[in-house]
């Protein structure tokens, strides 16, 4: 069996009450006026017996678990992996432990995770919400469980969130491509109704409009999530049906990787035959034959801000929300040149 030493064991060993032990081991001996000798004995016994406090009991008593629930689409996706890493690091600094779950972009999974985490009394959530999660988030609000959304948010849900200015990101990337002289700039995105998808589309579309270009279906490729077959079909179509595409803007990291791969397979030369602008950083880009241009999100800052806001919300007596919109950066490299 597992050798569990409790406050009581220490109290017995030293010959004092558990109250004193509790005070001393929480460094509150002064406030409780514990005599130095007793304190010393208690500390020694604790060390001797190798005492480790039971956080569960503390939490039960205090009503605070010092745990944060993190719900991502997929922890194996490097974009979310990086986010998870910064969130974990920042949480550790703040004294919180992170419990993670992958929703797989499915709101049913996300709901199940949320309930599991609530049962574990997490103090708050950081969530990259799946499509259709609105009701669950409203529910969290009803329960007064603080949460911060990352990467995506919902216009109709009152909440804190940390996102980038997606409109501006794609707007500027598109404008850059047009400025470089590309004529038919295509846009590749998922066909969901998530706000960041919409914002990114609008950014693209606005930049086109400003340049006097019409966005026709010949320039658009909206594909199903998690469905490489659908992607290949539609993207190949886009690129090979005589649409005269001379530049492509991919609106997520997974689409970027899939897209580069497909262009390579099709033998379409970048940037000679088509210019390419990607979304998010990826170590894959480093191995691509042509240095890739991309929208760089400040992942570290997103994670840190999310944790900071959440911790503030947890500590606040009355509810508040904080919205943070960060700027992304365009990293311009060879792949978007006009040849």
Partner DNA sequence: TTGAAAGCGCTAACAC
Partner DNA sequence: GTGTTAGCGCTTTCAA
Which residues of this chain interact with its own copies, rule CB under 8 A? 1-3, 52-57, 59-60, 65, 67, 74-78, 80-82, 84-85, 88-89, 92, 97-102, 115-121, 142-145, 257, 260-261, 264, 282-289
Closest to DNA by CB, 81 or 315: 315
CB 179 within 8 A of CB 211: no
Distance CA 21, CA 39 (A): 8
The total of other beta-carbon atoms located within 10 Å of residue 73's CB is 23
Residues near DNA (CB under 7 A): 4, 6-8, 15-20, 22-23, 25-26, 28, 32-35, 37-38, 53-54, 57-58, 60-63
Distance CA 263, CA 78 (A): 22
Find which of its own copies, DNA, none residue 302 binds, CB within 5 to 8 Å per kind: none
Residue owning tokens 């550790």 = 92
Half-sphere exposure of residue 224: CA atoms within 13 angstroms, side-chain side = 7
Minimum CB distance to DNA, residue 6 (Å)? 3
Distance CA 199, CA 171 (A): 9
Minimum CB distance to DNA, residue 90 (Å)? 24
Closest to DNA by CB, 32 or 325: 32
Find which of DNA, its own copies, none residue 23 binds, CB within 5 to 8 Å per kind: DNA
Q: Dihedrals φ, ψ of 177, to 5°?
A: -60, -40
Tokens of 296: 């760089």
Tokens of 270: 């970048």
Find which of DNA, its own copies, none residue 174 binds, CB within 5 to 8 Å per kind: none
Closest to its own copies by CB, 2 or 214: 2
Closest CA to 224 of 216, 213, 235: 235
Minimum CB distance to DNA, residue 8 (Å)? 6
Minimum CB distance to DNA, residue 142 (Å)? 18
Minimum CB distance to its own copies, residue 245 (Å)? 20
């Amino acid at each position: 069996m597992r050798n569990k030493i409790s406050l009581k064991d220490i109290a017995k060993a030293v010959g004092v009450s558990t109250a004193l032990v509790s005070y001393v081991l929480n460094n509150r001996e002064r406030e409780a006026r514990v005599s130095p000798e007793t304190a010393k004995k208690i500390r020694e016994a604790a060390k001797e017996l190798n005492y480790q406090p039971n956080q569960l009991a503390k939490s039960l008593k205090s009503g605070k678990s010092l745990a944060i629930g993190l719900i991502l689409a997929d922890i194996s996706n490097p974009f979310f992996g990086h986010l998870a890493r910064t969130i974990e690091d920042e949480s550790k600094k703040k004294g919180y432990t992170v419990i993670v779950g992958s929703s797989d972009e499915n709101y049913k999974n996300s709901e199940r995770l949320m309930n599991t985490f609530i049962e574990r009394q997490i103090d708050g959530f950081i969530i990259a919400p799946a499509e259709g999660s609105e009701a669950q988030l409203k529910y969290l609000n009803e329960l007064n469980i603080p949460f911060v959304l990352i990467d995506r948010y919902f216009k109709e849900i009152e909440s804190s969130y940390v996102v980038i200015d997606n409109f501006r990101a794609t707007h500027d990337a598109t404008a850059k491509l047009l400025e470089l002289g590309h004529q038919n700039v295509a846009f590749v995105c998922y066909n969901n109704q998530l706000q960041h998808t919409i914002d990114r589309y609008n950014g693209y579309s606005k930049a086109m409009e400003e340049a006097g270009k019409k966005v026709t279906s010949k320039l658009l490729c909206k594909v199903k999530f998690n469905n490489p077959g659908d992607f290949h079909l539609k993207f190949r179509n886009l690129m090979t049906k005589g649409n005269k595409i001379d530049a492509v803007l991919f609106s997520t990291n997974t689409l970027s990787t899939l897209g580069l791969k497909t262009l390579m397979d099709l033998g379409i030369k970048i940037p000679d035959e088509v210019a390419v602008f990607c979304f998010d950083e990826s170590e894959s880009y480093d191995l691509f034959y042509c240095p890739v241009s991309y929208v760089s999100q400040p992942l570290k800052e997103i994670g840190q801000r999310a944790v900071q806001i959440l911790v503030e919300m947890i500590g606040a007596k009355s509810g508040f929300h904080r919205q943070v919109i960060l700027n992304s950066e365009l990293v311009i490299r060879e792949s978007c040149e006009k040849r």
